[in-house]
Each structure stands twice: as C-alpha cells, then as structure tokens.
Amino acid sequence: MSEHAIPYKIYLSEDEMPKAWYNLKADMINKPAPLLYPETQQPVTLEQLSQIFCRELAQQELNDTDAYIPIPQEIADFYKMYRPAPLVRAYCLEKKLQTPAKIYYKFEGNNTSGSHKLNSAIAQAYYAKQQGLKGVTTETGAGQWGTALSMACSYFDLDCKVYMVKVSYEQKPFRREVMRTYGASVTPSPSMDTEVGRMILAEHPGTGGSLGCAISEAVEKATTTEGYRYVLGSVLNQVLLHQSVIGLETKAAMDKYGIKPDIIIGCAGGGSNLGGLIAPFMGEKLRGEQDYRFIAVEPASCPTLTRGVYAYDYCDTGRVCPLSKMYTLGSGFMPAANHAGGLRYHGMNSVLSQLYADGLMEARSVVQTEVFEAAEQFARVEGILPAPESSHAIKVAIDEAMKCKETGKEKTILFGLTGTGYFDLYAYEKFHDGKMTDYIPSDEEIAKSVSTLPEIR
C-alpha cells in the first residue's frame, strides 16, 4: 500500500458536522404503528408519555412529521469533544481478504463510554436538565449505556441512578468504576431500593438479576421520586433520532469524496446504532433518490427479526412501559446466558420493524463463535479491538466482501463499528480458551415465548 486517493480516515471539520438530527419517520409512507398506553391499549398521549420521559423527549418520540430537529448548541458542543467520529477505509482488511470490495466503517468507539450510546445519552441528559429535573434513572446490563449516561449526567451536573444487573455488577467491576468516576450511583439489581426489587428478592433471594428486572426498578424509582425521569439507551424512536448523527456524519464524509455504498450493515439489538447509521441513506431510498441494500445483523441466540413475529408487545418485562408494534420474541424471551455481548433485547425498534416488514431492509443472524473469529481477524489487521456487538456487523461485512471476491464485483460496503471491546475481555478469554459455545433457540422455545404476547383489541 502506498498513496490512496481516499484517506484511511475521513474526519469532517467542525463546521461540516450535522446541525440537526434526521427523523426518518417523517419520510416513511408506512409509519410505524403508534405506541399504546398499557392500561387503555389506546395510542399513548404526550401527557402519558411525559410521566415517564422528559417532555421534550416524549415529543420527539411522537413526532413523525418534522424531518429535521435542530441539535441544541450545548449538545453540539459536547459532540465536539468526541465527534466527528472517523469514517475509516479498511484498506488493511481489504488487503488481508484480497477482495475487490471497498470496505468502510464508521467508528464510534473513540470516547470513554466506548460506544455510540453517548450520542443519545447527552441529548437525554440535556433535556432532563432543561426541564429542571434533579436526575434520571436507568438500567444497564453490559454497562455501555450506564457508562455513557453517567458521562452525560456528569457534564450537566445531574444525578444519575443506574440499576446494574447484579451478575454484571459483580463480574464487570471495571464498568462500575467508570460510572463511579463520573459520579453515578450504581446499584446492583434486584435491590432493596424499590418495591419490585424487594419483591423479587423475597421470591428469589440468590438471583443474579435480569435486564427486565433492572428496567422495572429504574422505572419505579423514576416515577416515585420527585424530579426524576427514566431514560433508555435503545429501542425508542427518540434514541434513533439522536443516533442519526452517525449516519449524517457518514453520509457527509462519503459525499465529500464521492463514495456511494452499495451495502450498509449494522448490528441490531434494540436498533439504536443500526437505525442511526442507515437513517439518511434509507431516507434517500424512501424518497426514490438512491437505492441501497441494508442488512441488520443479529445474534442467532436472540433472532428478533429473522425468527420473531411482527406484533404489539411490551418493551419491558415489568410491563409498565407503553406497548410497541415490533418484531419480537416475546417480552419473556430469555437469551442464552452464554451470549457474551449485548444485542439480547427481545424486540426491535418500531421504525426498523416497519422497514423490515415492508421489505426495505434485510436481516441475518450469526453465531457467536464466528462473530469472535471475525472480531479477532479484524483486530489484527485494523488495530481496533471491537466490541462483541459491533463484531456482528464485521462478520457480515467480511462475508459480503468474500462474496465480492468470488464474483469479482467491486462493491462498496459500509458497516457500523459501534464500539470497542475493552470491557469484554472475559468473552475474548473464553473464545481464546475454546470455551465459547453457540446457542440457537429451538422453534418450540420461540413459539412458547411468542405465545405470551398480549392480545390487542
């Protein structure tokens, strides 16, 4: 390799950074079905939603008409601390694979939270501050979201209460320490702090907790404490809106160099990164301006899009949040305990679900050992140790690049590298030691879980 017309990394300048988020919903002809209020099963009102979320965020959640929402100056300033994120040309990976494909990735890991989650955390903290709140509550499993939120709250001097799944709290002390560095209070869940926590502890004294339980504790704390609201790091449309900064920057960087991706790939758990990355490209597709292939990649152990059903379901195990029409495996679905990364959510953001239902996006599921093989291959040539979540996208990007090698086609592949794996090294250790296994739920297991879906009149 010597001189390249396209640099290894494309950084936008500060004045090229997006000034507004892009609200993909505004350009959708088939809008996603509305959220339903759990008690009435009627479309949720702004008033109802504002009991759980900050008012401005509730408004963003329901807004499906404004295509652009200006990014407030304070948030734009914070973005400048760790953005623009580089768009990287994977020259070294291409060379290693000997593929004619051109591979690009948008790298969101260059911040202490280690992932794209910070893009929405700072927005949610900002609106909480604007509303005069004292603090916010949330849950965290792997800890990426909790870390991001603690950073954001520290910046705006907001209190941050994180309920961390107990088993993660104990097994991932490092994430916990990062959150403490940023002044967050981190409580292992279930805790004696809430009604629901005490109930669960009484029933299952030795439990290691679950994400569903942690969500229920966080929501209870927010709704029973003066001056607090609950915030969420994925699944919601407000989160997709904030994450559109990923796609907007990517598109601006590509446009600057006249690059058109043929295939756009993102890992998909609740959908925040995928939705953010594809937003402006999907907008062009919806408006008939340009065609792209989109591939959502999910773990075979939690195959929401590829094996779930498209129906109304609860977003949380505690069933206190609004119902959302989405691809789901049932809110009681328990992904295999052996799964190392995130992406364990039973449902999928409603915008992405609608796009998938309309055939505008593909989905693929991949098994975990193959994901870690791809991760290691990538790390060795591109110098970034990827998060297990992000590595799902790497796996499919490599697969597509190898197809190009077979066919000789020079396709341009773009994928989202959502973060780094520095806090996931137990999983890498398992992989190196040959102790990592794959799990694919049976049809019966999924059918059973899906049978618990609520009946919507």
Minimum CB–partner distance for residue 297 and its own copies (Å): 21
Minimum CB–partner distance for residue 248 and its own copies (Å): 18
**Alpha helix stretches (DSSP H) within 157-271:** 166-171, 173-181, 195-203, 211-224, 237-256
- Given the complex with its own copies, which of 43 and 173 has the nearer CB atom? 173
Distance CA 395, CA 377 (A): 10
Task: Tell which residue, 123, 155, 163, 135, has the closest CA to residue 227.
Answer: 135
- Given the complex with its own copies, which of 44 and 397 has the nearer CB atom? 397
φ/ψ of 401, rounded to 5, equals -65, -35
Amino acid 249 reads E
**Range 258-261 contact pairs with CB under 8 angstroms and sequence separation of 24 or more:** 259/6, 259/102, 259/104, 259/412, 260/290, 260/412, 261/104, 261/292, 261/412, 261/413, 261/414
Minimum CB–partner distance for residue 162 and its own copies (Å): 15
Minimum CB–partner distance for residue 245 and its own copies (Å): 15
Minimum CB–partner distance for residue 258 and its own copies (Å): 17
- First vs last C-alpha separation in the chain: 62
- Given the complex with its own copies, which of 10 and 278 has the nearer CB atom? 10
Minimum CB–partner distance for residue 227 and its own copies (Å): 22
- Given the complex with its own copies, which of 127 and 428 has the nearer CB atom? 428
* Exposure letters 375-384 (e unless 16+ CB within 10 A, then b): bbbbbeebeb
CB contact at 8 A, 374 and 341 = no
- Given the complex with its own copies, which of 109 and 303 has the nearer CB atom? 109
Distances (CA, A) of 230 to 118, 198, 311: 16, 20, 25
Minimum CB–partner distance for residue 76 and its own copies (Å): 9
Minimum CB–partner distance for residue 427 and its own copies (Å): 9
Binding site for its own copies (CB under 8 A): 1-2, 7-9, 11, 13-14, 73, 77-78, 80-82, 91-92, 110-112, 114, 151, 154-155, 173-174, 177-178, 180-183, 376, 379-385, 420, 422-423, 425, 428-429, 432
- Given the complex with its own copies, which of 356 and 428 has the nearer CB atom? 428
What DSSP letter does each residue of 250-315 carry, written as one string?
HHHHHHHTT---SEEEEE-SSSHHHHHHHHHHHHHHHTTS---EEEEEEETTS-HHHH-EEEEEES
- Given the complex with its own copies, which of 147 and 304 has the nearer CB atom? 147
Task: Give the residue carrying structure tokens 């990062």.
Answer: 178
Strand, helix or coil at 324? strand
Instruction: For residue 123, give both structure tokens.
Output: 């927005």
- Given the complex with its own copies, which of 45 and 112 has the nearer CB atom? 112
Distance CA 25, CA 28 (A): 5
Minimum CB–partner distance for residue 150 and its own copies (Å): 10
Minimum CB–partner distance for residue 303 and its own copies (Å): 27
- Given the complex with its own copies, which of 325 and 395 has the nearer CB atom? 395
Amino acid 280 reads P
CB contact at 8 A, 289 and 30 = no
Task: Give the residue carrying structure tokens 């893009």.
Answer: 119
- Given the complex with its own copies, which of 113 and 210 has the nearer CB atom? 113
φ/ψ of 265, rounded to 5, equals -125, 135
- Given the complex with its own copies, which of 182 and 312 has the nearer CB atom? 182
Minimum CB–partner distance for residue 152 and its own copies (Å): 9
